[in-house]
Amino acid sequence: MRIIAATKNAGKIREFEKIFSGLGFEIISQAEAGIDVDVEEIGDTFAKNALIKARAVAMLSDEYVLADDSGLCVDALDGRPGVRSARYAGEGASDSEKIAKLLGELEGETNRKAKFVANIAFIFPDGRELITQGEVYGRILDKPRGENGFGYDPVFYSDELEKTFAEASSDEKNRVSHRGRALAALYDMIK
């Protein structure tokens, strides 16, 4: 069985593949499915944005569809970047530009507590919808550490792993990450 991942992010595709390999699902990107749609994330929550993306792809397919929306929520910034995490430093900004903006806003701040939040939307071919959520807690470091991962991983220090997500292996990260937890919850529901 195939699941179309409503994303163009290769890092997310790899995470989805690892989690769902045990169920025998093949994960393909929307591009691999021949679906070329850009979705404007206008929701004010991660759950709403995940559903917006999943529904846009599901309307163009008769297959299972999976979408996520996730982001970094920093206490000292009143939850920012939040649902704007991907566009935090402007459209098309690189990961290093996003990190630089975040670190600039946190300069001199002692409260560095943060969490990653992910919502996963899953749509069955018959239109039924499931939504799950995962969270992971940590803090923002003063400078990036590690070479793995993507996005804010180099500055997010996981309390559970006692290292940044960029210092963790993909298996370590998937075990405790927000997306890994939301996907594990979805895996259990589907199973």
Which residues participate in catalysis according to the annotation? 69
3-state secondary structure of 10: helix
Distances (CA, A) of 45 to 10, 133, 144: 23, 11, 27
User: In 10 A of CB 189, how many CB atoms?
Assistant: 12
Residue whose C-alpha is closest to residue 177's, from 16, 43, 58: 16
CA distance 90 to 80: 14
CA distance 11 to 137: 20
Task: Judge whether 93 and 32 are in contact, CB under 8 Å.
Answer: no
CA distance 56 to 53: 5
User: In 10 A of CB 120, how many CB atoms?
Assistant: 30
